[in-house]
Structure 1
Amino acid sequence: MSQIHISKLPVDPGPAAWNELLPDAAPVSTLNGAVIADWIVIGAGFAGLSAARRLTQLRPSDRIVMLEASRVAQGPAGRNSGFMIDLPHDLSSSDYGGALEKDVILTADNRHAIEFAAAMAKDFGLGHDVFARSGKINGAATAKGDRHNQEYAAHLEQMGEPSELLDAEAMRALTGTNYYRSGLFTPGTAMIQPAAYVRGVAQGLLSAGVAIFENSPVIALEKTTTWQAATPGGTVSAPKVILAVNGHLNSFGYLKGQLMHVFTYASMTRPLRDDEMAVLGGSREWGLTPADPMGTTARRIKAHDGDRLIIRNRFTFDPSMEVNQRRIDVVAKDHDRSFAARFPMLDQVEMQYRWGGRLCLSRNNVNVVSEVQDGLFAACCQNGLGTTRGTLTGLLAAELATQTHSDRLDRALAVAPPTRLPPRLIASLGANAILRWQEHLAGSEL
């Protein structure tokens, strides 16, 4: 017999703004009573939804039950910036790039995940406003950022990947601001409305026969002859379980001391008025990641009630996987400074939503796809690219659990485990000091 008592449940700071833009979700279905299934998928984010979808393809007659601790799109999946990136995006590097051969393989795997996501979007009737292959831009505000873009462009050329360097005027025409001195456009990124995407996929899976229970956190997991997941309202029994809980794999007792828990933060404006959009100019939809990985990500979107701008920056290392409202308030001042520097013509535009989102990273930048116990499979550690790598690890975990061979799965299984971290206090002090120093070095990119 194996018993796992979950040490911590998810806590997500601030509203999930992308979800707030959508109509009210369907009434919640909470687990009550005892259910028997063939599969349990724990977590309804990018990894869990992708795992469930792959299972419907590989085991179409099996009964699949998904358990989500909160509501679909209220957790990290509904809080990210919506960039489903195909190219290397190593947040620990100066310009996202790594070793050439490794990056070529990484890009191919990322594109497989994006194709899988695109197929789900098509199958479940999600429109261009939810999933669009529009590409993205690395925006450079400084000479150092411009060098990062040029170095990254040279790296992409070695990989045989297309990119286009944009000058300051092209960046102004796109964004409406003269803040950026250059940009690097790459065409392979899919831009998504993350909450609409995960809600749409969840609805599609429901139509395909997957049972999804929200507000049903797993509080205990026990293995006898089969696995049994207990929630406050009931239990689900199944021979196989996929843990798609990213960093909360630690809460289930696995890889303790090997996962780095990081928060990043975002703010979204109220809808822009027509006169404000006229003053701003530029394109009405664009997505921009910073040339320096520690800089500011920005997006402009067309929402149902008007155009909005999103600013995302700042990283904090938080082993507790929880931050308080005071942290959000402190970071909000940095967001306001970044917004004012980029869009001084919008000095009367307020932020309507502010929030934080959890990331899980490893020191050696590896994902985790593994059978952590007999019949218990993990898909976690997305290293700051949850949309793409979450999709990939989820579908690969389903392939591992069904013994479905692929070269991608072989590569995922062959990687080293996440490198062990120093003792918690030392790791926390050291990581946050490094993050603050790197943000300082980012300068005006932040």
Structure 2
Amino acid sequence: MSQTSIRQPVETGLSGWAALAPRRFPVRTLESRQSADWLIIGAGFGGLSAARRLRQLRPEDRIVVLDAQEIAIGASGRNSGFMIDVPHNLTSGNYSVGGAESSLLEIRQNRMAIDFAAGVAQEYGMPVTTFDPSGKINAAATERGLKLNRAFADSLRQIGEPSETLDAAQMREITGTGYYLGGVHTPGAVLIQPADYIRRLAEGLAGEIDLFEHSPVLSLTRKGPVWEAVSTRGGVQAPRVILAVNGHIESFGHFRHRLIHVYTYASMTAAFPADAAGAERWALLPADPMGATLRKITQDGQSRIVVRTHFTYNPDIRVSGQQVAGIAARQRRSFDERFPALKHIPMEFSWAGALCLSTNHAPAFGEVEPGLYSACCENGLGTVKSTLAGMMAAEQAAGTDSEALRQFRQQPPPSRLPPQPIAWLGIHSVIRWHQLRAGREG
């Protein structure tokens, strides 16, 4: 395979997570021809998790990681910062888990990834503001939302998973607003500052791997027993390559016409006194998955609220500044409805972040060519699913046999999409319908 003219990532808007995460180590750019035992392309949750797992499995091998941008500037620093153990499927239109057997398997896999991340947090001394195992709340603002929450709690009880149902008064005490009618708290989720987590993980690995940023892969070619990646000022040859580039796996010639490229949008307020808006920290997912996700974060006596709403289908994997600005204006109204006492607090950051989905909720995973492995398509749970895919890709590529890997490899490939423009019309219509139905939850 010779793949040239690889499409490069384009980000729109400055993520508040990245803006608030200090950089503690220098940026290195690839500026020479090099050889390695392993090449990992992409330094997000998938790529860095793969690198750490390889260090555990092959401590003597040389590992090179290339990223087209600065770490945490891309998708890894643009999500809502939830590591969720209890599954939900964005393509299904609700949060209710499926059959008990498949749900329990997904929970075990998600918790394996969370345990891996907890090991990272412990090893590198991450503070609670970066890695907080406090759980999350599914918040309901409508009668329909309450009904969805009851179904969610019932499905959890059926598989023996704990949860706590919260009434309107409890929600007001937690959030400082009377907007919500109820909630369901699940204890297994971890709240992270995603950009800070990624940068601290990269810093911890810095002495064990070679990480090169601002080093986009322009071509990837098989040359006999090795792969050669060519970047702007250098290149890397390695017998084994792991692609941890999420939706950009299509740009490398694999899983084309099988992946749905969706963007979600977020805004973060300027800092305000921590005693406003309820408890010091809280995290809300919407009862309706097309509703608004909110988090209150606090550090050094100052708080901010992050609001994430709206989805758009962007098959070219880019959005305009105009799109971000338009949705940011709607997020402002959504925020003001929830927190009228904070209307004077400006939004300091607004940004877009890419998601990669498949219609059958399957990852783009496995050995796609000899020595070339994919750990992509996180299906809306990027922090957990990408961590897991990176771990599993490292194990598969290193020839490690485990029950977890065998189960992960049993998943089917992503289903093929209808041709354009049928795919665009269908996906756009589904997103639009679900966002309209979300109503006050959004």
After TM superposition, the score normalised by the length of structure 1 is: 0.97
**Residue aligned with 2:399, SS:** coil
**Aligned-residue offset at 1:27:** 2.9
Matching of residue 330 in structure 1 with residue 326 in structure 2: yes
Query: What is the number of equivalent residue pairs in this alignment?
Result: 440
Matched-pair contact (CA < 8 Å) for 2:375–2:393: yes
Tell me the residue number matched to 1:427: 423
Matched-pair contact (CA < 8 Å) for 2:91–2:359: no
**Residue aligned with 2:247, SS:** helix
**Alpha-carbon distance between aligned partners in 2 of 1:64 and 1:142, rounded to the nearest angstrom:** 51
* Letter in structure 1 aligned against 2:197: Y
Alignment of 1:227-246 (within 5 A): 227-246=227-246
Matched-pair contact (CA < 8 Å) for 2:365–2:413: no
Tell me the residue number matched to 2:350: 354
Matching of residue 308 in structure 1 with residue 304 in structure 2: yes
Tell me the residue number matched to 1:81: 80
**Alpha-carbon distance between aligned partners in 2 of 1:367 and 1:255, rounded to the nearest angstrom:** 10
**Alpha-carbon distance between aligned partners in 2 of 1:334 and 1:430, rounded to the nearest angstrom:** 24
**Alpha-carbon distance between aligned partners in 1 of 2:81 and 2:266, rounded to the nearest angstrom:** 12
Matched-pair contact (CA < 8 Å) for 2:45–2:198: yes
Q: Deviations over 1:54-95 (max 9, x none)?
A: 000000000000001100100000011100000011112323
Matching of residue 44 in structure 1 with residue 18 in structure 2: no
Tell me the residue number matched to 2:407: 411
Matching of residue 116 in structure 1 with residue 116 in structure 2: yes
**Alpha-carbon distance between aligned partners in 2 of 1:249 and 1:213, rounded to the nearest angstrom:** 19
Tell me the residue number matched to 1:271: 271
Matched-pair contact (CA < 8 Å) for 1:271–1:305: no
Tell me the residue number matched to 1:390: 386
Alignment of 1:17-56 (within 5 A): 17-56=16-55
Q: Deviations over 1:292-334 (max 9, x none)?
A: 0100000000145720001001000110000110100111122
Matched-pair contact (CA < 8 Å) for 2:135–2:188: yes
Tell me the residue number matched to 1:369: 365
Tell me the residue number matched to 1:57: 56
Matching of residue 401 in structure 1 with residue 397 in structure 2: yes
**Aligned-residue offset at 1:284:** 1.2
Tell me the residue number matched to 2:3: 4
**Alpha-carbon distance between aligned partners in 2 of 1:305 and 1:26, rounded to the nearest angstrom:** 27
Percent of pairs identical after alignment? 47
Alignment of 1:169-248 (within 5 A): 169-207=169-207, 209-225=208-224, 226-248=226-248
Residues 25 and 322 of structure 1, relative CA distance in 2, 3 Å threshold = farther
Tell me the residue number matched to 2:69: 70
Q: Deviations over 1:231-260 (max 9, x none)?
A: 101001110000000000000010100000
Matching of residue 440 in structure 1 with residue 436 in structure 2: yes
**Alpha-carbon distance between aligned partners in 1 of 2:375 and 2:123, rounded to the nearest angstrom:** 23
* Letter in structure 2 aligned against 1:352: E
Structure 1 segments (4+ residues) deviating >2 Å? 22-27
Which deviates more from structure 2 when the two are superposed, residues 4-13 or residues 215-224? 4-13
**Alpha-carbon distance between aligned partners in 2 of 1:168 and 1:290, rounded to the nearest angstrom:** 15
**Aligned-residue offset at 1:25:** 4.8
**Aligned-residue offset at 1:183:** 0.4
Superposed CA RMSD in Å reads 1.1
**Residue aligned with 1:424, SS:** coil
Residues 6 and 414 of structure 1, relative CA distance in 2, 3 Å threshold = farther
Residues 30 and 269 of structure 1, relative CA distance in 2, 3 Å threshold = same
* Letter in structure 1 aligned against 2:262: V
Which deviates more from structure 2 when the two are superposed, residues 15-24 or residues 211-220? 15-24
Q: Deviations over 1:94-137 (max 9, x none)?
A: 23422221101100110000000100111122121211110000
Matched-pair contact (CA < 8 Å) for 2:96–2:155: no
Matched-pair contact (CA < 8 Å) for 1:216–1:231: yes
**Alpha-carbon distance between aligned partners in 2 of 1:355 and 1:305, rounded to the nearest angstrom:** 25
After TM superposition, the score normalised by the length of structure 2 is: 0.98
* Letter in structure 2 aligned against 1:60: P
Q: Deviations over 1:159-203 (max 9, x none)?
A: 100000000000000000000000000000010000110000001
Residues 96 and 318 of structure 1, relative CA distance in 2, 3 Å threshold = farther
Matched-pair contact (CA < 8 Å) for 2:85–2:107: yes
**Alpha-carbon distance between aligned partners in 1 of 2:357 and 2:79, rounded to the nearest angstrom:** 15
Alignment of 1:273-288 (within 5 A): 274=273, 277-278=274-275, 280-288=276-284
**Residue aligned with 1:173, SS:** helix
**Residue aligned with 2:206, SS:** helix
**Aligned-residue offset at 1:6:** 4.1
**Aligned-residue offset at 1:7:** 3.0
* Letter in structure 2 aligned against 1:57: Q
**Aligned-residue offset at 1:24:** 4.1
Matched-pair contact (CA < 8 Å) for 1:179–1:342: yes
**Alpha-carbon distance between aligned partners in 2 of 1:145 and 1:233, rounded to the nearest angstrom:** 53
